Amino acid sequence: MKRKLLSLALCSVMAVGLLAGCGGSSSDGSGDQAASADSVAEAEEQISADADAGSGELISVGFAQVGHESDWRTASTQSCQDVFSEANGYDLSFVDCDNDSAAQLEAVRSFIQQGVQYIIIDPIVSTGWDQVLGECSDAGIPVIVIDRTIDDSDNYTAWVGSDFKTEGLAAGEWLAAYAEKQGISEINALVIEGTNGASAQIGRTDGFKEVADANGWTILDSQDGDFTEDGGQQVMESYCKSYEGQFNVVVCQNDNEAFGAMTAMDNAGVTYGVDGDVILISFDACTAGLQEVQKGTINADFECNPLAAPFVEEIIQTLQAGGEVESNEVYVEEHWYALPDAIVDFSVNGVAQEMTEVTDEVIEAQY
């Protein structure tokens, strides 16, 4: 289509050039030739730009999103829809898989049938992908994985996301430094995990546990809260009954679980946060999470950056231009947040970490 438009345009420019050559008054023929070459180049550029922006030339992208379980997820979806908009030259097929792995595989297969040019997957769980990725590869469709990882196949073009184990390690190392500062010698922690089998759950669980083991802390329990507010509340309600008076740390693997856990602790009369009996740690650092940090209800929040889409677009544009993807693993930048009293020095795997103080401006700029 683009080629056809281009040849039509070149024909018209050449026709104008020929007419100008026949009837023109210039005595220097080379000037006309140069002007004509410039016009052809300009017309080529213009037509190419028009064709890219025209509906016939939209780049088709299928995105199999995890679901809509959290504020983080809403921000991730919004970012993809903003980046892969028609105005930007894309035709996005978006499927909310509602945290159902079978539905996610089905969505990917439907993208193959539609013949989309690119497929983006945020894998609900990290395994079970080998077969369908083979089908994408057979169909010649590049797959870009975002956020969570796929751990049983590397048959995809690139991955853009977070280092979840580092997030978990950071939370643990922060707790060790903060507890020391507060003179707390014994840690009895309750963990509310994310969706079982998601790499975000696996990495955060492993990272925190590694530090807990190294420091001799007790993890009283660690259950799945499915990354939702309801899930966090239900698990915390049962923890409050089973471990009444026994815990001094609660780790929620995302902000929405933390909101649910706060409701459960409020109802059970458990105090938490900077003035409470329980240290509350969360992940994501979405706007509402940081507002809780500012209020002092969440002691520290470890960011998970949902803005992968701009990096994915760069990859797609590189492939569109016939280039090769330089790096097939892109880690998004992330920060650790607290109020000044809880900003402590710590390192992760020997690398000193910086913490960010939560202020109005920081909240304003967050997703």
Least distance between ligand AHR and beta carbon 86 (Å):
27
Using CB under 6 A as the binding rule, whether residue 337 contacts ligand AHR is answered as no
Using CB under 6 A as the binding rule, whether residue 159 contacts ligand AHR is answered as no
CA 337 to chain centre: 18
- Please select the residue that binds ligand AHR; options are 178, 283, 336, 367, rule is CB under 6 A: 283
Using CB under 6 A as the binding rule, whether residue 163 contacts ligand AHR is answered as no
Number of residues that bind ligand AHR (CB under 6 A): 12
Least distance between ligand AHR and beta carbon 70 (Å):
4
Using CB under 6 A as the binding rule, whether residue 165 contacts ligand AHR is answered as no
3-state secondary structure 151-209: CCCCCCCEEEECCHHHHHHHHHHHHHHHHHHHCCCCCEEEEEECCCCCHHHHHHHHHHH
Least distance between ligand AHR and beta carbon 158 (Å):
17
- Written as one letter, the residue type at 22 is C
The CA distance from 227 to 225, in Å, is 6
- Please select the residue that binds ligand AHR; options are 284, 292, 301, 313, rule is CB under 6 A: 284
Using CB under 6 A as the binding rule, whether residue 148 contacts ligand AHR is answered as yes
- Please select the residue that binds ligand AHR; options are 17, 64, 70, 240, rule is CB under 6 A: 70
Angle at CA of residue 175, ends 173 and 181, nearest 5°? 110
Please list every residue from 195 through 224 that binds ligand AHR, using CB under 6 A.
200
Q: Which among 67-75, 149-157, 262-270, 315-323 is the span making contact with ligand AHR, rule CB under 6 A?
A: 67-75
The CA distance from 305 to 14, in Å, is 52
- Please select the residue that binds ligand AHR; options are 58, 147, 279, 281, rule is CB under 6 A: 147
Q: Are 265 and 236 in contact (CB under 8 A)?
A: yes
Task: Give the Cβ contact number of residue 208 at 10 Å.
Answer: 30
Q: Which among 22-30, 69-77, 87-95, 175-183 is the span making contact with ligand AHR, rule CB under 6 A?
A: 69-77
The CA distance from 361 to 122, in Å, is 30
C-alpha distances in Å from residue 178, one per residue of 160, 174, 185, 301? 31, 6, 11, 13
Where on the chain is the footprint of ligand AHR (CB under 6 A)?
Answer: 69-70, 72-73, 147-148, 200, 227, 254, 283-284, 304
